[in-house]
A and B are shown apart, each in its own frame.
Chain A
Amino acid sequence: MIKLPAASMDQIKHLVSERALTGETMLLNMGPQHPSTHGVLRLLLELDGEIIVNCIPDIGFLHTGIEKNMEAKTYQKAEVMTDRIDYMYTMGNNLVYCLALEKLTGLDVPERADYIRVILAELSRLQSHLLWIGTSAMDLAAMSVFLYAMREREMILDVFELVTGQRMMTTYIRPGGVWRDLPEGFEQSIRQILKVFPKRIKEYESLLTRNPLFRDRTIGIGKISVEDCIRRGVTGPVIRGSGLAYDLRKARPYSVYARFDFDIPTQQEGDCYSRYLVRVEEMRQSLRIIGQALDRLPKGPFRSSNRKFVPPPRSELGVSMEALIHHFKLWTEGFSAPCGSVYVGVESPRGEMGVYLEGDGGPKPYRAHYRTPSFVNLQALPLMARNHFVADLVGIIGSIDIVLGDADR
């Protein structure tokens, strides 16, 4: 076994400048219990007075071994683990896993399920952005936005509870469709959201967009260029805030996104303020997608009728021998996926979320790996934070919108 030395000053010597070793600059530990690091992120800062010379992120405090755990479970059970990765975009985690699994096994998805998936994934994006706008404004001491954003987020979580029975860890999108059909009252609650939200988004904008304190704290802070984004694999609102309209929903459309009419908002400056503007506009575009999907929601089955992968309805169990056998087989052994590997990516609120899934012919994934946007975007934090004040670092972390469950898995 090749051994690396234990954690000590020696280990980080090569990461800090020479001035830190002589004591000219100060090394300061920020986190992992810092309230504005959005979870458990530890940052080792090298400071010259109040200016950040260097910033070394240290992650892994939330590592739960999800990839290893998935290998020991059947495909259906492994999906439950995926909720816990990016706990702000649970529907998307399920969606990308199911898309990969469907690509691997060649399973069909009925159209109605596709539309339901899109509506729920966009609602998920909306609630993630709402939480982001609340917390990141709170980091910059704008307390009231948080209260308003949480009020609206509650409406979306109520819809999730209505549809899936859960507010956050939903596991609603299943291989071959969705868990159950939409309940009564779904359309009314979505129509209510569509009616209320445009006004509310305007409210947030009136609180922040022209707020001189907010502008002072964000304009020109944490700049990153498109070239740096590409070189470092940064995606999502960060790259769109730098001026490149790269969105997987348009670039490599998955599910039924190609059928909807929506824009990709971009800004040119690449600072915290433009990332804020991009996200606010994205909320409006999400509403547009939800509206179109709801209008065109087709009737029909909500999950595939391929009994080798999708369990039969409960009503058939008493009358059909085959249904009983399928039910039994699916809930004990699970279904098998062929040998081979697939990579599928979706656009999460933070960037490209991809899953690499490899099957070995058995009922358990041989290898499941998540390419998570927070993990990649966090690598660019030192680049953005350099030569800024410590107080601005908090805003920069907020503007990348990291979810540590996503980075650590």
Chain B
Amino acid sequence: MIEPNQIIAAARYLKDEAGFDMLLDITSVDYCPRVEGRFHLVYHFYSMKKNQILILRVPLNGNEPEVQTIEGIYPNANWYERETWDLMGVHFSGHSDLRRIQLPADWEGHPLRKDYPLGYEEVQYSFNYDDIAKTKSHPKD
């Protein structure tokens, strides 16, 4: 577990000196009611020579977290970080191409967050469109 501002240094050390030459995965977890350390980024590094996996956890504070990209060190972080931004809303500063990857470009919200509701739209027995719009948590349309 390391602090978010050390991620670049840690990744560089892992790649250049510790021999972790492959980035297996980046994912994220949301511990929602918590604000301090609400999001955890989970990095999986793999060393071909030593046949070891190293897991780094990076806690991030606040609802709009931001962390530096490691795309410059591991090129395949590009899509993982885009996915994490798309689904979890973790912003990677310095990323070359931070667009949504899975969802349409005009989507609002980040579905994997715990405060994003899962489910269908309730049937409204009303033509009062103002009232209907109020009940929607994510007024997309």
By a beta-carbon cutoff of 8 Å, the part of chain A in contact with chain B is: 1-2, 4, 6-7, 11, 14-15, 59-60, 63, 65, 67-69, 71-72, 230-233, 244, 246, 251-252, 341, 343, 345, 352, 354, 356, 358, 366-367, 369, 371, 375-376, 379, 408-409
10 new A-B contacts, CB < 8 A, other than A231-B74, A233-B22, A244-B48, are A1-B108, A4-B99, A14-B96, A14-B97, A60-B103, A230-B48, A233-B23, A343-B25, A343-B55, A367-B30
Let me know if B29 and A231 touch, CB within 8 A: no
Which chain A residues border B75 with CB–CB below 8 Å?
A: 231-232, 379
Mostly, the A contact residues are: mixed
By a beta-carbon cutoff of 8 Å, the part of chain B in contact with chain A is: 21-25, 27, 29-30, 42, 44, 48, 51, 53, 55, 64, 74-76, 78-79, 83, 87, 91, 96-106, 108, 111-112, 116, 118
- Rounded to whole Å, the gap between the CB of B41 and the closest CB of chain A is 12
Of all A-B residue pairs in the complex, the 10 with the closest CB atoms, nearest first, are A7-B105, A60-B102, A371-B25, A63-B102, A233-B76, A369-B27, A232-B76, A367-B29, A72-B118, A230-B21
Task: List 26 A-B residue pairs with CB atoms under 8 Å apart, sorted by A's residue number.
Answer: A4-B105, A6-B105, A59-B102, A60-B100, A60-B102, A60-B103, A63-B102, A65-B118, A68-B111, A68-B116, A68-B118, A72-B118, A232-B76, A343-B53, A343-B55, A352-B24, A354-B24, A356-B25, A356-B27, A367-B27, A367-B29, A376-B76, A376-B79, A379-B75, A379-B79, A408-B102
Let me know if A341 and B99 touch, CB within 8 A: no
Let me know if A6 and B106 touch, CB within 8 A: yes
Which chain A residues border B44 with CB–CB below 8 Å?
A: 343, 354, 356, 371
Let me know if A69 and B102 touch, CB within 8 A: no
Closest A residue to B83 by CB, please name it. A375
Which chain A residues border B105 with CB–CB below 8 Å?
A: 4, 6-7, 11
A290-B101 Cα distance, complex, nearest whole Å: 39
A11-B101 Cα distance, complex, nearest whole Å: 13
Let me know if A358 and B29 touch, CB within 8 A: yes
Let me know if A366 and B98 touch, CB within 8 A: no
Closest A residue to B44 by CB, please name it. A343
Selected contact of A60 from candidates B22, B27, B91, B101, CB within 8 Å? B101
Closest B residue to A246 by CB, please name it. B48
Selected contact of A7 from candidates B51, B91, B98, B106, CB within 8 Å? B106
Which chain A residues border B78 with CB–CB below 8 Å?
A: 379
